[in-house]
Structure 1
Amino acid sequence: MNDDQDPNTNQNGWMKNMLIWAGVIIGLLVVVSLIDTRGSADRGSSISYSTFRDRVSDGQVKSVTISPDRVTGTYVNDEQFSAVRVENDPSLIPLLEEKGIDYSGKAEEQPSLLMYILLQSLPFILIITIAFFVLRQVQKGGGASGAMGFGKSKAKLLTEKSGKVTFQDVAGIDEAREELQEIVEFLRDPSKFARLGGQIPKGALLVGSPGTGKTLLARAIAGEAGVPFFTISGSDFVEMFVGVGASRVRDMFEQAKKNAPCIVFIDEIDAVGRHRGSGLGNSNDEREQTLNQLLVEMDGFEANEGIIIIAATNRPDVLDPALLRPGRFDRQVVVPVPDIEGREKILQVHMKKVPLAPDVNARTIARGTPGFSGADLANLVNEAALLAARRGKRLVAMSEFEAAKDKVMMGAERKSMVMTEDEKRMTAYHEAGHAIVAVHEEASDPIHKATIIPRGRALGMVMRLPERDVYSYHRDKMYANLAVSMGGRVAEEVVFGYDKVSSGASGDIQYATKLARDMVTKWGMSDELGPLQYEEQSEGYLGYGQSQRMMMSDETARKIDAEIRKIVDQGYDRAKHVLSEHVDQLHTLAQALLEFETLSGDEIQEIIATGKLDRPDGKSIKPDVAPGIGAVIPRAGKRKGPFHDPKPQGA
């Protein structure tokens, strides 16, 4: 195979052949054109037959040559002419004799045999030349992309020139890396395991969400072991013609045997390894034959010694069971989304390529990016570098990372969006309501920042950062999150009145409803319904799929809806109670947001503790009430019922 050749060399060769054949075609056309031009030049200027007779009568013609189909001659001034002869003109010869013009006859021209063959075969030569050129081009590229190499493997062999990757370039997935270290040791020293009768796993399946580093981890294994690394996508096996995929699988393993020991990496294997028999009719014959051939090659009668198959997918639930059994993919390695420690290490790897300012703290950035994969973090560092370049800076500071994080998570700032003063004031009080409730809820995560600058579809936001990654939530934290989510809606109702409540809390209501539903139907946190599961996850993996209600009676469904409403109402009353007690803090914080648009968590804490804010740039606010807003709390409207603090019973 020639996959390790320089693609620029292949492209130059293709261009060279194209120019050669183009020159041949142009040369043939030039020859024909010269022949035709020479004949036209011998004939001279063309005139009509009647004009020829008139000029003979006027004595302008000196000599004439008569052929069966044409009359050519010379004028008195030695210019040549030609005219198409009119048949059966018996008066022409007498007219020439009368005027004393020298005339002669000429037999019909017969082209030479070689010229006749050339002219007749020229179209066929052009067709054959073009066909030969096309067939030669489609057969290039190692046969993988050519018409004659339709069943050849498209696997690419990565060499040292492609950039060596080692485990030093992989961070944040230490458990997965350690589990694959055994494969590296086997490739380095196979006899170490053979002495004790051990056999290295023939295949490893990397399972994880998109962007977690599955492909990078596979390349690191090859880099550490120093062996050839073949890479191919699962979709490269599938074609519309039955049998092509199976042929490509056979060819891929033949190439791997020649380079053993080696690693064959199949990315997105679910494209070819889906459960057999799941299709309708014969629509999946090609894919199933490809899968059958892959199963045979991985663990058939002929052992492929020294070939280790590593595959990656984020949908292991759709793979065929025969593909996952021991002997083929002996182990499944989960490549998870990194935790805070892993995110910090990944950020440090990518930050090595970027000139950093002294104030950059990878730990703080890692805290603010829960759920980010390795690809997300790489994109975050790149966005920060681009932003610093646009600002004309020589170093990437923490402010660029914060702005890049906001852009990645919520979208770019909508600076062109024009908001009225009333809309800005409503947004400021909405976000201030979230922040005040979050500060006074002990179980809530600390506030990182609050802003009323529109981003994406949000007019503002309050970002809270956990101290560490959270893998399970307690009941008190869930109730705190419900109260915080209702804080914006309650602040609008408390300050502006029941009739002036806006639609800005739609996302908050959606979050609160889903959280309350999960508490009731999945986590058994309803005293009325008890610790039973009433919803189950539909088909899916790693976050895919949707929740569905299980079979239940209408009475149970009504109780579920009533409990969800009750929990959300408790969160609403809890937020109302907090904001009613601290309405002065609500006004001061909203005024600060209107003044500065963005406040950090420390600044919010200072405002709540002291009632004022003094910034290093000299700007400050006093604990005055915002213009146009009174400190008197209007009636909340139709909302009734005392505040209920939902403490866990028996906890």
Structure 2
Amino acid sequence: MNSKFLRSGLFWLLIIVIGIAVFMNFGTARSTQSPDSIQQLALEIKAGRIRDITVRGDTITAERYDGTRLITRKGSNVTAVEALKNLGVTEEELQSLEAFIVQDDSQLRGLGFLLSSALPLLLFGGLLIFMLRQAQGSNNQAMSFGKSRARMFTGDKPTVTFNDVAGADEAKEELKEVVEFLREPSKFAALGARIPKGVLMVGPPGTGKTLMARAVAGEAGVPFFSISGSEFVEMFVGVGASRVRDLFEQAKRNSPCIIFIDEIDAVGRQRGAGLGGSHDEREQTLNQILVEMDGFDTDTNVIVIAATNRPDILDPALLRPGRFDRRVVLDRPDVRGRRAILGVHVRGKPLASDVDLDAIARGTPGFTGADLENLVNEAAILAARRKKRVIGMAEFNEAIERVVMGPERRSRLLSEEERRLTAYHEAGHAVVMYHMPHADQVHKITIIPRGRAGGYTWYMPEEERTLYSYSQFLDRMASMLGGRAAEEIVFGDVSTGASNDLKQVTELARAMVTRYGMSERLGPLQYGEREEMVFLGREITEHRNYSEKVAREIDAEVKRLVTEAYERALQVLREHRDQLEAVAQRLLEVETLEREEFEELMVRTSMTDLALDEEEAPQGSDEEAQEDAEA
């Protein structure tokens, strides 16, 4: 925009200068045409009517005493004084004038002539130069189309080091060897060792693959070229391969250095898997990457680090030894990793004394590093919104719920009947979960709408787990169906509030039968093969490797598991109807129950039921029981 305004301003400046020159020439030409003669001027001077005279070139301007002017021309070969004296004007008459001024305008007339004659040539030359530069710029742009778009970061002032990366200790140990090789390559060369040319970092989104690559560059103190896989491919054939060549040439000139290719699956997908047979431009780019990595000499000290969350769709040629022959896995952090990541992100932030980072780490299973960073940021925003000077535990708990479920929607108006239905639904989940021996613990129950949910029951495992048993799955299904069971018991009808519960239960039951081999009837077998198109990168169908008879048996077994889980939920709620009523009524009063209050309410209700049972027991029952025992 600035260059555009500059070019426009220069253009209009030239137009204005040309206009001034033309006006000056026009004014000069007009002034030389006088209606008066010099003889008349001489007569006026002799009559004493002229006050002063101004001579500018060939033009004589005389001003009378009455204020009028007389303009005439002199001869070009004599001066104005000589011309007047030749007409009879004496020296005394000229001296009687108040002023006789002679102005030399030869320079001004010369400048006007120069502007009027040279400016068109200058304007034409300027337009010609402008057009040539535009053509040259377009040519340069076309020639630079195949240049690499990688961004280079020098290692003089590293902004990220291994101290800024937490929760991935094993990955850091693997990559420390890369850093040591870049710092002391002679140490490895003396033993005949060859450092891996390529390191492939694999992990779910948000686990810190890009951050880890930056930390490697920061620790090594070498140039760092960063580019995304999608930046290689353009609509023109051959551009991607050209950019790959240019990138590796720059890297060799700046070695030792690191090339980081983010989302390499954009160009590294398996060849020959595209729609219609292939994708020529993408495959040419991939071929060039393979050639460049093979073409490295052992002393170039250029290491390629790539990141992806889909290693299963990469071309096998990328993963063979000599290319990306080292694979570093960055998985979701465990509770200790989450605690360390939280410690990194709360640096420099004022925390209240009640903040327990260990409790936050336990309450965020499955969170990645990016999720935890977002969690800390949301807590800081909430504290600022509430005009606090420190971030408290309440803000962290609220931030966890915002990240998982979305913001609260207190403005959503619910009828009394809907509030009552939601309260019993969530109470049903909580009561069934409380009585299931292998279910997770209830952490919070609320009927305040949040996100797309009208209410929710938040449960949390006591310890981190990666493996689940058959009993745990059965208890989880019963807990999921507790809301629908409570609606049927209390209202004698069911609503659409359990639609998501039914979906999750059905998927879990089918996975137990077809994937985990947890069906006694069908045995420890896996049924169905997932088919996907590598070019699309997602599953599109499931191939049945079983007969129609087995398909019917699978459907029947899934139905049996879900039905039995629903019957268990109904049985638990019928046996503990008082606890269901107590939790639901308390939710209608306060809208939210924390874990401590919920467990206290369950224990108090259980003791009350036990006392009532003892009061209702018939007298002598203890004696009869003792006699029966003795017998």
User: Which TM-score band applies after superposition, normalised by the shorter structure?
Assistant: 0.7 to 0.9
How much does 1:548 deviate? 2.2
Task: Please tell me whether residue 509 in structure 1 is matched to residue 502 in structure 2.
Answer: yes
Return the alpha-carbon distance in structure 1 between the equivalents of residues 394 and 28 of structure 2.
Answer: 84
Of the candidates 236, 241, 252, which is equivalent to residue 241 of structure 1? 236
Instruction: Name 1:132's counterpart in structure 2.
Output: 133
Instruction: Name 2:325's counterpart in structure 1.
Output: 330
Return the alpha-carbon distance in structure 1 between the equivalents of residues 491 and 23 of structure 2.
Answer: 93
Return the alpha-carbon distance in structure 2 between the equivalents of residues 341 and 493 of structure 1.
Answer: 43
Return the alpha-carbon distance in structure 2 between the equivalents of residues 257 and 534 of structure 1.
Answer: 51
Task: Please tell me whether residue 530 in structure 1 is matched to residue 531 in structure 2.
Answer: no
Return the alpha-carbon distance in structure 1 between the equivalents of residues 506 and 490 of structure 2.
Answer: 24
Task: Please tell me whether residue 610 in structure 1 is matched to residue 596 in structure 2.
Answer: no
Partner SS, residue 224 of structure 1: helix
Instruction: Name 1:153's counterpart in structure 2.
Output: 148
How much does 1:288 deviate? 2.1
Judge conservation of contact 2:532–2:541 (CA < 8 Å) in 1: no
Partner SS, residue 497 of structure 2: coil
Shift of the 112–279 alpha-carbon distance from structure 1 to 2, 3 Å rule, reads: farther
Shift of the 41–609 alpha-carbon distance from structure 1 to 2, 3 Å rule, reads: farther
Return the alpha-carbon distance in structure 2 between the equivalents of residues 137 and 357 of structure 1.
Answer: 59
Instruction: Name 1:187's counterpart in structure 2.
Output: 182
Q: Deviations over 1:383-409 (max 9, x none)?
A: 110011001001111111111111111
Of the candidates 332, 350, 359, which is equivalent to residue 364 of structure 1? 359
Instruction: Name 1:33's counterpart in structure 2.
Output: 19
Task: Please tell me whether residue 258 in structure 1 is matched to residue 258 in structure 2.
Answer: no
Instruction: Name 1:389's counterpart in structure 2.
Output: 384
Partner SS, residue 274 of structure 1: coil
Instruction: Name 1:565's counterpart in structure 2.
Output: 559
Shift of the 24–172 alpha-carbon distance from structure 1 to 2, 3 Å rule, reads: same
Judge conservation of contact 1:343–1:366 (CA < 8 Å) in 2: yes
Q: Which amino acid is the alignment partner of residue 129 of structure 1? A: F
Return the alpha-carbon distance in structure 2 between the equivalents of residues 123 and 310 of structure 1.
Answer: 55
How much does 1:132 deviate? 2.3
Partner SS, residue 150 of structure 1: helix
Return the alpha-carbon distance in structure 1 between the equivalents of residues 415 and 445 of structure 2.
Answer: 20
How much does 1:414 deviate? 1.2
Task: Please tell me whether residue 231 in structure 1 is matched to residue 226 in structure 2.
Answer: yes
Shift of the 439–323 alpha-carbon distance from structure 1 to 2, 3 Å rule, reads: same
Partner SS, residue 286 of structure 2: helix
Return the alpha-carbon distance in structure 1 between the equivalents of residues 369 and 606 of structure 2.
Answer: 41
Instruction: Name 2:102's counterpart in structure 1.
Output: none
Q: RMSD of aligned C-alpha atoms?
A: 3.1
Partner SS, residue 149 of structure 1: helix
Partner SS, residue 360 of structure 1: coil
Q: Which amino acid is the alignment partner of residue 401 of structure 1? A: F
Return the alpha-carbon distance in structure 1 between the equivalents of residues 308 and 132 of structure 2.
Answer: 42
Task: Please tell me whether residue 178 in structure 1 is matched to residue 179 in structure 2.
Answer: no
Instruction: Name 2:41's counterpart in structure 1.
Output: none
How much does 1:296 deviate? 1.4
Partner SS, residue 175 of structure 1: helix
Task: Please tell me whether residue 556 in structure 1 is matched to residue 557 in structure 2.
Answer: no
Instruction: Name 1:449's counterpart in structure 2.
Output: 444
Q: Deviations over 1:429-448 (max 9, x none)?
A: 00000000011111011111
Higher mean C-alpha displacement, 477-486 vs 519-528 = 519-528
How much does 1:280 deviate? 5.2
How much does 1:112 deviate? 7.5
How much does 1:539 deviate? 3.4
Judge conservation of contact 1:234–1:267 (CA < 8 Å) in 2: yes
How much does 1:254 deviate? 1.8
Shift of the 578–540 alpha-carbon distance from structure 1 to 2, 3 Å rule, reads: farther
Return the alpha-carbon distance in structure 1 between the equivalents of residues 262 and 370 of structure 2.
Answer: 16
How much does 1:363 deviate? 1.8
Of the candidates 296, 316, 331, which is equivalent to residue 311 of structure 2? 316
Of the candidates 458, 466, 470, which is equivalent to residue 471 of structure 1? 466
Return the alpha-carbon distance in structure 1 between the equivalents of residues 451 and 416 of structure 2.
Answer: 20
Shift of the 431–135 alpha-carbon distance from structure 1 to 2, 3 Å rule, reads: farther
Judge conservation of contact 1:485–1:508 (CA < 8 Å) in 2: yes
Q: Which amino acid is the alignment partner of residue 521 of structure 1? A: T
Return the alpha-carbon distance in structure 2 between the equivalents of residues 127 and 360 of structure 1.
Answer: 71
How much does 1:34 deviate? 2.5
Instruction: Name 1:196's counterpart in structure 2.
Output: 191
Task: Please tell me whether residue 269 in structure 1 is matched to residue 237 in structure 2.
Answer: no
How much does 1:127 deviate? 6.5
Return the alpha-carbon distance in structure 2 between the equivalents of residues 610 and 135 of structure 1.
Answer: 86
Shift of the 546–507 alpha-carbon distance from structure 1 to 2, 3 Å rule, reads: farther
Q: Which amino acid is the alignment partner of residue 568 of structure 1? A: V
Instruction: Name 2:95's counterpart in structure 1.
Output: none
Return the alpha-carbon distance in structure 2 between the equivalents of residues 263 and 185 of structure 1.
Answer: 13
Percent identity of paired positions between Structure 1 and Structure 2: 56
How much does 1:120 deviate? 7.6
Larger radius of gyration: 2
How much does 1:124 deviate? 7.2
In structure 2, runs of 5+ residues without a counterpart are 31-67, 71-111, 610-631
Judge conservation of contact 2:167–2:337 (CA < 8 Å) in 1: yes
Return the alpha-carbon distance in structure 2 between the equivalents of residues 451 and 546 of structure 1.
Answer: 37
Q: Which amino acid is the alignment partner of residue 470 of structure 1? A: R
Instruction: Name 2:280's counterpart in structure 1.
Output: 285
Instruction: Name 1:413's counterpart in structure 2.
Output: 408
How much does 1:273 deviate? 1.8
Return the alpha-carbon distance in structure 1 between the equivalents of residues 415 and 395 of structure 2.
Answer: 29
Return the alpha-carbon distance in structure 1 between the equivalents of residues 114 and 348 of structure 2.
Answer: 73
Return the alpha-carbon distance in structure 2 between the equivalents of residues 396 and 216 of structure 1.
Answer: 26
In structure 1, runs of 5+ residues without a counterpart are 1-13, 45-76, 80-110, 140-145, 614-621, 624-651
Q: State the TM-score, normalizing by the size of structure 1.
A: 0.76
Aligned length: 531
How much does 1:417 deviate? 0.7
Partner SS, residue 534 of structure 1: coil
Partner SS, residue 449 of structure 1: strand
How much does 1:22 deviate? 4.7
Q: Deviations over 1:563-588 (max 9, x none)?
A: 11110011101001110011011111
Q: Deviations over 1:587-639 (max 9, x none)?
A: 110011111111111110000111399xxxxxxxx99xxxxxxxxxxxxxxxx
Return the alpha-carbon distance in structure 2 between the equivalents of residues 43 and 360 of structure 1.
Answer: 91
How much does 1:291 deviate? 1.8
Q: Which amino acid is the alignment partner of residue 241 of structure 2? A: A
Return the alpha-carbon distance in structure 1 between the equivalents of residues 335 and 405 of structure 2.
Answer: 20
Judge conservation of contact 1:298–1:304 (CA < 8 Å) in 2: no
Instruction: Name 2:57's counterpart in structure 1.
Output: none
Instruction: Name 1:5's counterpart in structure 2.
Output: none
Q: Deviations over 1:412-436 (max 9, x none)?
A: 1112210001100100000000000
